[in-house]
Amino acid sequence: MKIFGIAGYKNVGKTTLIVELIEEFRRRDLRVATIKHAHHAFDIDHPGKDSYLHRKAGAEEVIVASARRFAHVRELDPGTEPALDELLGRLGSVDLVLIEGYKHGEHPKLELRRAGVPTSSLAADDPSVLAIVADVEIAGAPVPVLERAKLRAIADFIEAGAERV
């Protein structure tokens, strides 16, 4: 499998770009997985659902399975967040993994910027940022700048620069 990341600060459109990229790579017949880093507590379970009740009662792990998919929820002790490599090792057989967030990881990535959202540059200090994707011109960028509107060109860049793991 190959990996490539999309990084950037809050509200620059990382998830929107990843959804569009997944659709593009699927048109190219690639099997795609994603890993998203959340900086906050999150829950995929909802009050009233059986699996939520299992966890609320004290289950450390809950698996919900059907004929079409399964989800595995594991409670973690504080400070035991799994490393990206560990999460990659849990994935099935796919061609490409798009990684959202993990902006300080060493995997190849794009930095996403959006007009009207002030951010500092990741590319200036991170050699794993191979290009910037932006909807505005960026003068003096330390890496190539790809136009946000040119999705196929962005996908081509990712395919060429993805790292095999």
Q: Which residue ranges make up each domain of the chain? A: 2-40+81-164
Distance CA 36, CA 5 (A): 10
Q: What is the pLDDT of residue 75?
A: 87
Over residues 74-92, mean pLDDT: 91
Q: What is the pLDDT of residue 45?
A: 78
CATH superfamily, domain at 2-40+81-164: P-loop containing nucleotide triphosphate hydrolases (3.40.50.300)
Distance of CA 5 to the CA centre of its chain: 6
**Residue among 159, 126, 147 at smallest CA distance from 8:** 126
Model confidence pTM above 0.85? yes
pLDDT digits (tens, 9 = 90+) for 113-147: 999 998 889 999 999 999 999 999 999 999 999 99
Q: Read out DSSP for 1-14?
A: -EEEEEE--TTS-H
